[in-house]
């Protein structure tokens, strides 16, 4: 008899074990499916959220970024604005930079700083007698500005040096330099109807007083079209008790067959020895085969090199 026999119960147990196993497999499959679907959904929803953020948030972020960038740019612009606000000062104070500079061979440019003075007419007389032109860098704070008309009428160049000629003051800032320059510019223009185009820095373009500002001043002045000239020879006449012979000696010692020579001289009430030395200096260079000319803004600038 099979039913109720030991074999029957064995088979029943096997069957139950198979059913339980199948149920367990199904359960595992079901739970696994649930887990997988959850994972997939969460992965999908993650992707969605990225997509969402791409669709919705990113544009906002982009906008924010743009806003931030814009505000950064605005801040930068504001900084630049504040840095270069002096560019809008004295809009009439401009010139034109020449397209091309020229360099004439064997040419001497006499340049007289600090005038006009009681010596100016004497200097003009010597220049006239020798039929040569020169350049006068003017200090407009001087009292006898009418002499500027004589300088202009005789065909010499009038350039700007300074109004106050006070180093501490004019090199205090770019604005301070521009204010001083503008005063000198206007006084020359009012007196002579000449708009100066060239200038010389008091103390030279690089000096102990302008180390913090000279680059900004130079770029601003060049932006406005003004050309400046330093020198490659000095009369050495700035000292108080310089003699005529010492000046001539200084010039001869500084001479090294340069193609272009810009000589620093001074037009000052006390500089009688400068006037006395002038005819001999002119003769010296002429005997060396040089001719004289005035600076104008087409003459190739001679400037001090900047320390690195
Ligand atoms: Zn000077």
- Ligand 1 centroid, distance to 165 Cα (angstroms): 7
Q: Choose the weakest-confidence range: 51-60, 137-146, 282-291.
A: 51-60
Q: Where are the beta strands (DSSP E) in the chain?
A: 107-115, 135-139, 157-162, 198-199, 227-228, 233-234, 260-266, 291-292
Cα of 282 from ligand 1 centre, angstroms:
22
Question: Is residue 182 pLDDT above 70, yes or no?
Answer: yes
pTM: 0.73
pLDDT at 39 over 50: no
How remote is the CA of residue 89 from the centroid of ligand 1, in Å?
24
* Confidence check: pLDDT of 38 > 50: no
Q: Is residue 3 very low, low, confident or very high in pLDDT (cuts 50, 70, 90)?
A: confident
Centroid of ligand 1 to alpha carbon of 140 (angstroms): 11
The C-alpha angle with vertex 232 and arms to 231 and 236, in degrees rounded to 5, equals 80
pLDDT at 181 over 70: yes
Q: Ligand 1 centroid vs 85 CA: distance in angstroms?
A: 28
Q: How far is the CA of 55 from the centre of ligand 1 (A)?
A: 69
**pLDDT greater than 50 at residue 106:** yes
For 190-212, write each residue's pLDDT tens digit. Answer: 999 999 999 999 999 999 999 99
User: How confident is the prediction for the chain on average, in pLDDT?
Assistant: 84
pLDDT for 245-277, tens place per residue?
Answer: 999 999 999 999 999 999 999 999 999 999 999
Tell me the CA–centroid distance for residue 217 and ligand 1, in Å: 17
Q: How far is the CA of 41 from the centre of ligand 1 (A)?
A: 84
């Amino acid at each position: 008899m099979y039913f109720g026999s030991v074999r029957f119960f064995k088979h029943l147990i096997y069957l139950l074990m198979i059913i339980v196993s199948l149920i367990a497999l199904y359960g595992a499959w079901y739970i696994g499916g649930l887990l997988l679907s959850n994972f997939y959904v969460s992965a999908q929803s993650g992707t969605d959220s990225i997509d969402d953020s791409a669709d919705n948030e990113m544009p906002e972020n982009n906008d924010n970024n743009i806003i931030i960038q814009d505000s950064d740019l605005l801040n930068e612009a504001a900084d630049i604005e504040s840095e270069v606000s002096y560019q809008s000062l004295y809009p009439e104070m401009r010139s034109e930079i020449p397209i091309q500079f020229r360099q004439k061979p064997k040419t001497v440019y006499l340049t007289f700083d600090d005038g006009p003075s009681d010596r100016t007419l004497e200097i003009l007389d010597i220049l006239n007698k020798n039929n040569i032109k020169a350049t006068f860098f003017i200090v407009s704070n001087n009292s006898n500005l009418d002499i500027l008309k004589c300088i202009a009428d005789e065909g010499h160049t009038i350039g700007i040096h300074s109004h106050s000629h006070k180093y501490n003051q004019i090199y205090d800032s770019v604005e301070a330099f521009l204010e001083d320059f503008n005063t000198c510019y206007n006084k020359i223009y009012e007196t002579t109807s000449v708009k100066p185009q060239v200038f010389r820095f008091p103390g030279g373009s690089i000096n102990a007083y302008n180390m913090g500002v000279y680059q900004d001043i130079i770029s601003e002045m060049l932006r406005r079209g003004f050309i400046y000239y330093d020198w490659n020879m000095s009369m050495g006449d700035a000292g108080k008790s310089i003699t005529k012979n010492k000046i001539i000696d200084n010039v001869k010692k500084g001479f090294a067959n340069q193609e272009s020579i810009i000589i620093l001289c001074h037009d000052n009430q006390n500089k009688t020895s400068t006037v006395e030395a002038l005819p001999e200096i002119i003769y010296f260079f002429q005997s060396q085969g040089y001719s004289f000319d005035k600076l104008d803004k087409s003459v190739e600038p001679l400037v001090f090199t900047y320390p690195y």
